[in-house]
Amino acid sequence: MSSPTLLTMFRCVLRRDLVLALRRRSDVLSTLFFFIIVISLFPLGVGPEMSLLRAMGPGVVWVAALLASMLSLGRLFSNDYRDGTLEQMLLTPQPLPLLVFGKVIAHWLVSGVPLVLIAPLLGMQFGLPADALLVLVGSLLLGTPVLSMIGAVGAALTLGLRGGGVLVSLLVLPLYIPVLIFGAGAVEAHISGLGAQAHLSLLGAFLVLSLLFAPWATAAALRISME
């Protein structure tokens, strides 16, 4: 099987999921609005103390991004499962991890990238300086794909189960915690003058590992769920 054939299949899956996401804009906007509302409520509840807001800002943004990512996991495979597309994907001669990778990348483009783009505006509510906002964007660019990759494994394992939304949260939340710690810690370390390079390097390592192993684990979980 030639590489162009695999690349074409990947592009088809990616394009299909992006087109379907654009047709269901309400699902994409609901995730984005949830992210905005959660972050915007904290300054209102905590008060105008700028030093306190600046200290808690990176953690608040990252927790909101984590929750928003979990909110969108249920749509990753459920629609394809209901209309039979997922079963056809399992029967194709193309490698299933490649198809899964295309779906996860599409999921990140429609649910993770908007969060990254709007995070600097929301971070200004906490009085974060411009250089800290750049570090925040960098940590989200490295960390949100990891959230999508890990979440895809949990979504595949709970596919078709009653109460799958609660189960997937219980499965992936412990795995999300290291990403949350190093993502928020990168901004905090930069603000304190310690430098964010170590935290960003660890996030980059998480990203590489998730890109290597998560598609295979998700494909195996899908086969188990469809049996």
Query: CA 97 to CA 103: how far, in whole Å?
Result: 10
Q: What is the pLDDT of residues 167-199, one digit of tens each?
A: 888 888 999 999 999 999 999 999 888 888 999
Q: What is the pLDDT of residues 84-133, one digit of tens each?
A: 778 888 887 888 898 899 999 999 999 899 999 999 999 888 888 899 99
What are the φ/ψ torsions at residue 28 (nearest 5 degrees)?
-70, -45
Query: CA 48 to CA 43: how far, in whole Å?
Result: 7
Which string of DSSP letters, residue by residue, matches 14-26? HHHHHHHHHHTHH
pTM summary value: 0.88
